[in-house]
Amino acid sequence: MSDERAGGYTHVNLLEVEDLAARFGFSEITEARFANEALATEATGVCLQRLRPGRKQPFGHRHQQAEEVYVVLEGSGRVRLDDDTVELRRFDALRVAPPVARRFEAGPDGMTILVFGPRHPGDGERLPDFWA
């Protein structure tokens, strides 16, 4: 899956990274492929997420330190950011500051998002009832 040359780079196909959503019983809602380990990243987090049509992520979350950037690769949907809701479409990029609670919902065609930002292990807080 990973191709590393002399420590200078790592090449990975994100679709070959384990889908953690399936491991935790969320496969009917989403896919979540966290590529940090596969890419051997030291400071950057990378995740490919696919939301099924009309479905919300299983829970919201926020961070204490990590600023994240979300890029919509396919489909459309919306995201709840604290008290705001933002509509998203293909190739929209969204920066979210650490303390802002967020939860995504796919439109009728689903939504594929690439997420990246700094890694701070243990920094995320799950919010199961956010935007219920």
- Name which of 68, 47, 26, 53 is nearest 113 in CA terms: 47
pLDDT, one tens digit per residue, over 9-64 is: 999 999 999 999 999 999 999 999 999 999 999 899 999 999 999 999 999 999 99
CA–CA separation, 6 vs 119, rounded Å? Answer: 23
Q: Which domain holds residue 52?
A: 30-120
Q: Does residue 8 sit within a domain?
A: no
pLDDT at 2 over 90: no
pLDDT, one tens digit per residue, over 51-106 is: 999 999 999 999 999 999 999 999 999 999 999 999 999 999 999 999 999 999 99
Q: Does residue 75 sit within a domain?
A: yes
Q: Does residue 24 sit within a domain?
A: no
DSSP string spanning 68-111? Answer: EEEEEEEEEEEEEETTEEEEE-TT-EEEE-TT--EEEEEEEEEE
Q: Does residue 101 sit within a domain?
A: yes
Residue at token pair 């191709």: 3
pTM: 0.91
Domain CATH for 56: 2.60.120.10
Q: Please give the tally of structural domains in the chain.
A: 1
